[in-house]
A and B are shown apart, each in its own frame.
Chain A
Amino acid sequence: MSPTGHTDAGTAGGAIPRLSMRGIGKAFPGVQALRNVSFNVARGEVHALIGENGAGKSSLLKVLSGVYRADAGDIRVDGKLVDAASPKAARMQGIALIHQELQQVPHLDVAQNMFLGMPLTHGGVFTDKTQMRARASTALASLDPSIDVTAPIRTLRVAQRQIVEIARALLSDARVIAMDEPTSSLTPREFERLTEVIATLAARGVGVIYVSHKLEEVYRVCTRATVLRDGALVGVVDLANTTEDMLVGMMVGRTIEARAHHGHAGTERVLEISGLGRGHAVRGVSFALHRGEVLGIAGLVGAGRTELVRLIAGVDRADSGTVSLHGRPIRSASPREAIGHGIALLPEERKRDGIVPLRSIVSNMALPAFQRWSRFGLVRTQALRQRVREMTERVGLRPPDIDRPIRLFSGGNQQKAILGRWLMADAGILMFDEPTRGIDVGAKADIYRLIEDLVQQGKSVIVVSSELPEIMRLSDRVLVMWRGEMAGILERADMNESAIMHLAVSGGRPQ
């Protein structure tokens, strides 16, 4: 592997870096997740890894920690080549990943969790609890001595469980510790505690990788940052002389693909949302959706975008706020009621929330409409099948075989079938959650075309998406969510990627 042609991420003082990844490449069917990415972390350095959703951060971490096998490139720890063939192998060679969702066994105690998969034993038969607890205590002493190693892990708060994971990494003599969104469920005080722990790690010479969407945290914790975009390295910067705007620019700075946006938005307010909320996930969101409009909803993962559309669709129940349709307040206590009002959701998790895999296209598409297509309790099969055929033609289902179980279709065609379902049910408001996730390029263009057809016919559309180009291409306006709140709505004229990212990252608050 030849070294990368990008900015050479050199190391302090020319010493051998703690971690060096060179020319990493990883492809999945249809997607190049990582392209010739190089990444270095010095001894005792806290290094940020940042980028938009889908930029390749997770893939890089997974390659590092042995979850994925890279197609190209090599990984070295202290100059020594690492063969990260499995998560366990990576761990044995000094690399530890602290997952966003902590991977612990709730009812086992702290010490047992720390030695999970590599227990200390007496002669290989009986577990040596005394020894495990003693060593667990020692490892925890410098991080958080208040944690009791005999307590079941489920009795600990998330922040403490995180520290247990870090201590576990130290037990296996980790020299590189990667933290994936470590603060996503921490309070500000717990975050302060974590920064102390990270400082302790750095003082010991551990190379720390800090992955986060929250740029203010990155500035607090890290000294340098590596920015990824579309699976490739954009650059490595010293945070001391880089502004947040410069970082955001590096994160989103792609050229916007040529496109023609034809607005069809009218002035008639079809749907009005006022003060809608549910717990902490969605708080006090208000907006109006017009006839023939595509409203984009942008924001970071976990900002409450999916939760918002689920509330409107009646899938989850709101605990505050009102939804009005054509000026009249409506109640949607269930999806069935929302569908009765013509409000439909095309969920992100198609397998889980969208399709009945064993059933045919006919059964899946007609699911909300069976009662309408029945007479004297019996389904009017011939007429129904005729209608399903028309709809599959309209959405361009391939193959056009309406009796084939839906699980045998590709993701893009499943999405088309679900769209056909709502066309049959005659929904007036369609909410797409990540409409093109996991869908190949051709079908993606079809979905965009279908969305444009819908608004041309006067239907109203909401598109939740993590892909800014998608939002930019489709939306007449874009609503940006930030930590469960509405950070703002941008009109098409003010819509650009850095404006959206700025709202998504900071909530529009002054820095």
Chain B
Amino acid sequence: MSGASDIAARSGRIRLKIGLRDMGTLLGLLLICVVFASLSDFFLTERNLVNILQQSSINACVAIGMTLVIISGGIDLSVGPTAALTAVVSASMIVGGYPVALAIVVALAIGMACGLGNGLLVAYGGLQPFIVTLGTLSLYRALALIYTGGNPILGVPSSFRVLFQTQVWIFPMPIVVVAVLGILAWVLLAKTPIGEYILAVGGNEEASRVSGVPIARTKISAYVISGGLAALGALILVARLGAAEPTLGNLWELEAIAASAIGGASLMGGKGSIVGTVLGAIVLGAMRNGLTLLNVQAFYQLLATGIIIIAAMLIDRLTRGRE
């Protein structure tokens, strides 16, 4: 009897411990908010907080996919160009009078196809994920530029833009979409076989193989999800801007990697948190928002972002102890 309750208590503590890293990210976020709130009266207003979430939503969306890829032991540097390609194709379809629903389906399909390309090359080509996606980073960008001749596609009608401009209670649609996605991704990672496989493959690929985990399928799934989420990020951006440029999505990959890392993902693979990643994206968004409110130059914002990333990693390293 007492033995059983002891086990329950221990497992409860372990589960709490897993959430500890996310608590750390949350603490960091709160700290940043306290600092900016003391420096700017406007920072803590409802409007600004919703703003921060909205500004973070695209990065959070891309970063969720990135986190899955990173946990599987890979990296996806091609998310920006994937977004650009899907943006220009879907925008030109909508401008050309195709049904909005069809354009959205095509956009997501292109994004997932881009991810499939990465996944196949990683799983069957025997190439390093960094190299594969470095190559497709150029390749997908080139396709976007060739498709548009380098020109932006303007005049996306409001029939599409309104989709992401409606609100649920006080929250604009992008926030709601990304929140739902976050929950789905969390369920995927914590409650499904494929989530277990992603964690196992990233944690020890050879042991996973010997244990019968379908390695190729697992890796490909992660890249396909990443590509699909990059496409969704592109749709949100096109709706916001009303235009699609073939150069959009520049440096999205670094923003997404930063959010994942701040959220506790290990670039060695096998470790990472969806909650942490979303919080990490909000940390970066809150930093930028706060510094803009304080009229800090963009150069210094970049400096602050760099410091945040390195500080987060150092704190992570120091508090984790030896492993």
Contact assessment for B10 and A356 in the assembled complex, using a CB-CB cutoff below 8 Å:
no
Q: Is the CB of B191 within 8 A of A347?
A: no
A358-B270, A379-B192 given as contacts; is B200 within 8 A of A363 (CB)?
yes
Are B206 and A352 in contact, CB atoms less than 8 angstroms apart? yes
CB-contacts of B191-217 with A (<8 A): 191-193, 196-197, 199-200, 203-204, 206-214
A291 within 8 A of B: no
B210 near A354 with CB under 8 A, answer yes
- Does any Cβ of A come within 8 Å of B14's Cβ? yes
A229 to B14, CA, bound (A): 46
Asked if B168 CB lies within 8 Å of chain A CBs, one says no
Check B11 for interface membership: any CB of A closer than 8 A. Answer: yes
Given contacts A363-B200, A378-B191, A379-B191, contact A403 B211 (CB under 8 A): no
Tell whether A367 pairs with B200 under 8 Å between CB atoms, given A356-B208, A379-B193, A404-B14: yes
Interface membership of chain A positions 302-327, coded 1 if the CB is closer than 8 angstroms to chain B and 0 otherwise? 00000000000101000000000000
- Say yes or no: A345-B210 contact (C-beta < 8 A), given A359-B203, A400-B7, A402-B11: yes
**A353 within 8 Å of B (CB atoms):** yes
User: Is A461 part of the contact surface with B, judged by Cβ < 8 Å?
Assistant: no
Residue of B nearest to A355 (CB): B207
| Known A377-B192, A379-B196, A403-B10: A358·B271 in contact at CB below 8 Å | yes
Q: Are B196 and A378 in contact (CB under 8 A)?
A: no
Segment 379-432 of A: residues with Cβ below 8 Å from B = 379, 381, 400-404, 421, 425
Question: Per-position contact with B for A321-364: 1 when CB-CB < 8 Å, else 0?
Answer: 00000000000001110111000010100001111111110010
Please tell me if the beta carbons of A356 and B203 are within 8 angstroms of each other in the complex.
yes
Which of B193, B203, B211, B214 gathers most chain A CB within 10 Å?
A: B211
CB of A371 within 8 A of chain B? yes
Q: What residues on A are CB-neighbors of B11 within 8 Å?
A: 401-403
- B14 partner residues in chain A, CB cutoff 8 A: 360, 401, 403-404
Contact B10 A401, beta carbon cutoff 8 Å: yes
Known A356-B270, A401-B11; judge A315-B207 contact (CB<8 A).
no
A403-B196 in contact given A354-B207, A367-B211, A367-B212 (Cβ < 8 Å): no
Nearest-neighbor residue (CB-CB) of A407 within chain B: B323
Nearest Cβ distance between residue A239 and chain B, in whole angstroms? 43
B267 smallest CB distance to A (angstroms): 14
Residue A366 is within 8 A (CB to CB) of chain B in the complex: yes
Please tell me if the beta carbons of B193 and A356 are within 8 angstroms of each other in the complex: no
A46 to nearest B CB, angstroms?
41
Query: B213 to A336, Cβ gap below 8 A?
Result: yes
Question: Would B204 and A357 count as touching, CB distance under 8 A?
Answer: yes
Tell me whether B322 is interfacial, beta carbon within 8 Å: no
- Considering only residues 18-48 of chain B, those with a C-beta below 8 Å from chain A are none
Cα distance A421–B10 when bound, in Å?
Answer: 22
Cβ of B4 to closest chain A Cβ, rounded Å: 10
For A374, the closest partner residue in chain B by CB is B193
Residue of A368, A371, A379 near B211 (CB, 8 A) is A368
Q: How far is the CB of A384 from chain B (nearest CB, A)?
A: 10
Q: How far apart are A331's CB and chain B's nearest CB, in angstroms?
A: 15
Q: Which of B7, B191, B199 contacts A356 (CB 8 A)?
A: B199
Q: Report A312 CB to chain B, min CB distance, Å.
A: 13
Contacts of A345 in B (CB 8 A): 210
Query: Which A residues lie within 8 Å of B192 (CB)?
Result: 374, 377-379
**A residues less than 8 Å from B187 (CB atoms):** 378
- Residues in chain A near residue B193, CB distance under 8 A: 370-371, 374, 377, 379
Q: Is the CB of B200 within 8 A of A353?
A: no
Q: Total A-B pairs in contact (CB under 8 Å)?
A: 88
Query: Which residues on the B side are within 8 Å of A359 (C-beta)?
Result: 199-200, 203, 270
Are A370 and B270 in contact, with the CB atoms below 8 A? no
Of the four ranges (under 10, 10 to 19, 20 to 34, 35 or more), the interface on chain B belongs to 20 to 34
Number of residues on chain A facing chain B (CB within 8 A): 37
Rounded to whole angstroms, the CA-CA distance of A367 and B7 in the bound complex is 22
Q: Which of A352, A379, A403, A404 has the most CB of B within 10 A?
A: A403
Q: Please determine whether B210 and A315 come into contact, CB atoms closer than 8 angstroms.
A: yes
Q: Which of B10, B197, B210, B271 contacts A353 (CB 8 A)?
A: B210
Task: List residues of chain A with CB within 8 A of the CB of B191.
Answer: 378-379, 381
Query: Are the CB atoms of B200 and A335 closer together than 8 Å?
Result: no
The distance from the CB of A356 to the nearest CB of chain B, in whole angstroms, is 4
Bound together, the chains give a CA A421 to CA B212 distance in angstroms of 11
State the CA gap A268–B200 with chains docked (Å). 37
- Chain B residues with CB under 8 A of A334: 209
- In the bound complex, how far is the Cα of B286 from the Cα of A252, in angstroms? 71
Shortest Cβ distance from residue B11 to the other chain A in the assembled complex, whole angstroms = 4
A421 and B203 within 8 A (CB): no
Residue of B nearest to A360 (CB): B14
Q: Is the CB of B210 within 8 A of A356?
A: no
Output the nearest chain B residue to A371 by Cβ-Cβ distance: B193
Q: Give the chain B neighbours of A356 by CB distance below 8 A.
A: 199-200, 203-204, 207-208, 270
Min Cβ gap B214→A in Å is: 6
**Whole-angstrom distance from the CB of B240 to the nearest CB of chain A?**
33
- Minimum CB distance partner of A366 in chain B: B196
Instruction: Give the distance in Å from the alpha carbon of A366 to the alpha carbon of B200 in the complex.
Output: 11
Asked if A367 and B270 make an inter-chain contact with CB atoms under 8 angstroms apart, the answer reads: no
Cβ A353 vs Cβ B7 within 8 A:
no
CB contact between B209 and one of A335, A400, A403 (< 8 Å): that residue? A335
Q: Is the CB of A355 within 8 A of B210?
A: no
Residues in B neighbouring A338, C-beta threshold 8 A? 212
From A336, A367, A400, A401, give the contact of B196 (CB < 8 A): A367
Instruction: Give, as a whole number of angstroms, the nearest-CB distance from B296 to chain A.
Output: 39
13 further interface pairs, Cβ-Cβ under 8 Å (given A336-B213, A358-B199, A359-B199): A352-B204, A353-B206, A353-B207, A355-B204, A356-B199, A356-B208, A357-B204, A358-B270, A363-B199, A366-B196, A367-B212, A368-B212, A403-B11
Chosen A-B contacts, 21 in total, with CB atoms closer than 8 Å, are A313-B210, A334-B209, A335-B209, A340-B212, A356-B203, A357-B203, A358-B203, A358-B270, A358-B271, A363-B199, A366-B196, A367-B213, A368-B213, A378-B191, A379-B191, A381-B191, A401-B7, A401-B10, A403-B14, A404-B10, A404-B14
Nearest 5 interchain pairs by C-beta: A370-B193, A356-B203, A339-B212, A368-B212, A336-B212
Q: Which residues of B contact A (CB under 8 A)?
A: 7, 10-11, 14-15, 187, 191-193, 196-197, 199-200, 203-204, 206-214, 270-271
